[in-house]
Chain A
Amino acid sequence: MNNNSRPLLLELKKVGKTFSEDIVALRDMELKIHSGDFISLLGPSGCGKSTALRIIAGLTEPTVGEVDWKVNHGSGAIGVVFQEATLLPWTTVEKNVWLPFRLQNKSFKEKKDEIERSLELVGLKDFTKSYPRELSGGMKMRVAIARALVTDPEVILMDEPFAALDEITRFKLNNDLLALRETLGCTIIFVTHSVFESVFLSDRIAVMATRPGRVIQELDVDEPYPRGESFRTSSSYGVICRKTSDALKLAMEN
């Protein structure tokens, strides 16, 4: 897919972040996100990929540089999924998905259709009245994804969302996430330290290096969607994984 044919959504311009005087988490990070992109930020731990995500989310101000949004990015324009499902344990699945609307002072009744649709998309429409503790790790993560989707956001930020899950569940969620994206056409920024996951999911991979954290290489994954299980075992998958691995190795040596 040609990125340039899609409108620019946001751009990181020379973004830098310094923690407590001399720890440089990010320096001169440049990144363009187009509408409909599935971009992975791939790098070793400590390369600032989560910091970059937090800056995009507006949770942290960059020390230098700026995040240039081309669209309105108020409440509900950004959906997030963390490594843990991060649900409210005291309330049901549907009320958890309601949360983004609730914080916009919109009643549950008013948004019931959106909530139901979102839960249906992640395959949980039979669990709307369940409490989080009754769900497995994978199902909790699905609730978190439904909550991120429910406001129909401009971009969904995912910070190693499947890293804590077992491999079988992770593969299933990978497939389902791609299917979701096929249906909704949403933009996703995905932080991961797994080469295989980033190649399987994304159409672009930004490989990041440590000390200071920055993007050292952007790789396009020119493989058509939908990608199924057969892509995981195809030779082109292997080739791209190899290429990405090499880039990551370079990033580590740097």
Chain B
Amino acid sequence: MASTDIKVDSPSTNKVVDKNELLKKRKERNIRIGKWVMPIIVFMITIYLWYWIVQVNSIPHYILPGPFLVVTTLIQDFQILLSALQITIQITLMALAVAVIGGVGLAILFTQSKFFEISFFPYAVILQVTPIISIAPLIFIYVDNRTVGLLLCAWIVAFFPILSNTTLGLNSVDHNLKDLFKIYGANRWQKLLHLQIPSALPYFLGGLRIAGGLALIGAVVAEYVAGTGGIGSGLAYTILEAGYRLNIPRMFAALLLIAGTGVFIFAILSFLSHLLLHKWHESALQKEN
């Protein structure tokens, strides 16, 4: 055999700049900064337009208050608004907690018994698709305690995304892993604890984020239905009452707080999701090139 020389070229050490890569990097940086800057610019423009429209047309504050009046009201009425906010948040969080317990518990029962699932799942769907606003009046007829009624309404809205997502997650276990657990003689409990629940975690957290927003909606809607009777009521009550008194600035201030609460709940739950998943789950990974 003839010997063959194999030449290995040593790579050149000159630094080569790729135009496309450079462009891509610049674009990525712009997006990273713009993600924060752009919404703020839009916000400021909107506030200014709002202010301008109110000023130019000299709209009376009982029809449309200017942005500064809303902020002033927010500060002035803070005591009233804060206690209302506390109640709304309380109902929302309690409903969310009960939704998590009920949704996850039911999902686990569903995966333990197929018969249980096919028997009860349709009713969970019916409960979900019936608008809460049409069930709530009935609930307040039968439930004497106002808080329990509100809680029940918020729970009905919030629990379904948790139930359906967790059920999906518990059933989405890799079948090879299931085989592996069977070969090593895992019992039902071990399978649930070490395989199904971790597999379902990303699905559950997705459902939780939706449920967080829905619990707030449920709590607010239910309070509208419950009406203005009773003391110690939440933000929806504040809006209703302020509406009766044509106190439009306070309505806006309360609305601001509800929106803020929704954003806050979403942010907290997103952070929780990131905390639990960032080490291993695809959804939480940074894109690598």
Cα separation A54 to B285 with both chains bound (whole Å)? 35
Residue of B nearest to A79 (CB): B183
Cα separation A82 to B270 with both chains bound (whole Å)? 35
Query: Contact at B184–A90, with CB atoms within 8 Å?
Result: no
List of B residues within 8 angstroms of A78 by Cβ: 183
Query: Contact at A131–B179, with CB atoms within 8 Å?
Result: no
Q: Mask for A37-80, Cβ within 8 A of B = 1, else 0?
A: 00000000000000000100111000000000000001110101
List A residues 8-60 near B (Cβ within 8 Å). Answer: 54, 57-59
Cα separation A78 to B182 with both chains bound (whole Å)? 11
When A88-B198, A90-B198, A131-B279 are in contact, do A100 and B177 touch as well, CB less than 8 Å? no
Q: Does B168 contact A (CB under 8 A)?
A: no
What's the dominant secondary structure at chain A's contact region? Answer: loop
Q: Does B201 contact A (CB under 8 A)?
A: yes
Q: Does A84 contact B (CB under 8 A)?
A: yes
CB of A19, distance to nearest CB on chain B (Å) = 16
Query: Contact at B185–A133, with CB atoms within 8 Å?
Result: no
List of B residues within 8 angstroms of A82 by Cβ: 176, 179-180
Cα separation A76 to B183 with both chains bound (whole Å)? 8
When A86-B176, A102-B194, A103-B190 are in contact, do A59 and B185 touch as well, CB less than 8 Å? no
Residue of A nearest to B202 (CB): A90
List of B residues within 8 angstroms of A76 by Cβ: 184
Kindly count the residue-residue contacts between A and B in the assembled complex, taking CB atoms under 8 Å apart: 55
List of B residues within 8 angstroms of A90 by Cβ: 198, 201, 279-281
List B residues 158-200 near A (Cβ within 8 Å). Answer: 174, 176-177, 179-186, 190, 194-195, 198
Query: Contact at B183–A59, with CB atoms within 8 Å?
Result: yes
Question: In the complex, which of the residues B184, B280, B285 has the most CB atoms of chain A within 10 Å of its own CB atom?
Answer: B184
List of A residues within 8 angstroms of B195 by Cβ: 88
List of A residues within 8 angstroms of B182 by Cβ: 58-59
Query: Contact at B174–A86, with CB atoms within 8 Å?
Result: yes
List B residues 259-280 near A (Cβ within 8 Å). Answer: 279-280
Contact of A88 among B177, B179, B186, B190 (CB under 8 A): B177
Report, as a range, how many residues of chain B touch the other chain: 20 to 34
Residue of B nearest to A101 (CB): B184
Q: Does A99 contact B (CB under 8 A)?
A: yes
Query: Contact at B185–A75, with CB atoms within 8 Å?
Result: yes
Query: Contact at B181–A103, with CB atoms within 8 Å?
Result: yes
Residue of B nearest to A144 (CB): B180
CB of B148, distance to nearest CB on chain A (Å) = 38
Query: Contact at A80–B180, with CB atoms within 8 Å?
Result: yes
Query: Contact at B280–A86, with CB atoms within 8 Å?
Result: no
Query: Contact at B176–A89, with CB atoms within 8 Å?
Result: no
Residue of B nearest to A133 (CB): B280
Question: In the complex, which of the residues A57, A59, A84, A88 has the most CB atoms of chain B within 10 Å of its own CB atom?
Answer: A88
CB of A6, distance to nearest CB on chain B (Å) = 24
Q: Mask for B80-118, Cβ within 8 A of A = 1, else 0?
A: 000000000000000000000000000000000000000
Query: Contact at B183–A58, with CB atoms within 8 Å?
Result: yes
When A80-B180, A84-B176 are in contact, do A133 and B285 touch as well, CB less than 8 Å? yes
The 10 residue pairs across chains A and B that have the minimum distance between CB atoms: A75-B185, A86-B176, A103-B184, A103-B186, A90-B280, A90-B198, A82-B176, A89-B280, A100-B184, A131-B280
